[in-house]
Amino acid sequence: MNNNRKDYPMPTKEQQDRAERVQHAVIAELNLLAREGVSNAELLAGMGSAVADLITCTAGPVAVAPWFERQAELVRELQRP
């Protein structure tokens, strides 16, 4: 990882608050779907497809893989001791 953050500026407080609002709404919907019997694999596949579609519509299809790659980097960073 190159640790180059220029493409990923720190979010503002307002952006963080909105992201948290989205997070809570998505979690509520996922919990509802799980109670209706949707499996974890189906939830993950649906979420991944929805995210890929949003990225495609806003930044184009070439942006999908780099976005998921960056998310994987962030998760690895968070899991380091």
pLDDT tier, 78 (very low <50, low <70, confident <90, very high otherwise):
confident
Q: Which two structure tokens, joined as six digits, stand for 32?
A: 């509802």
CA-to-CA distance for 26 and 24, rounded, in angstroms?
A: 5
pLDDT tier, 10 (very low <50, low <70, confident <90, very high otherwise):
confident
Query: Mean pLDDT over all residues of the chain?
Result: 91
- 3-state class percentages of the chain: helix first, strand second, coil last, to nearest 5: 75, 0, 25
pTM above 0.85, yes or no: no
pLDDT tier, 2 (very low <50, low <70, confident <90, very high otherwise):
very low
Instruction: Kindly report the number of other CB atoms within 10 A of residue 57's CB atom.
Output: 9
Higher pLDDT, 64 or 5: 64
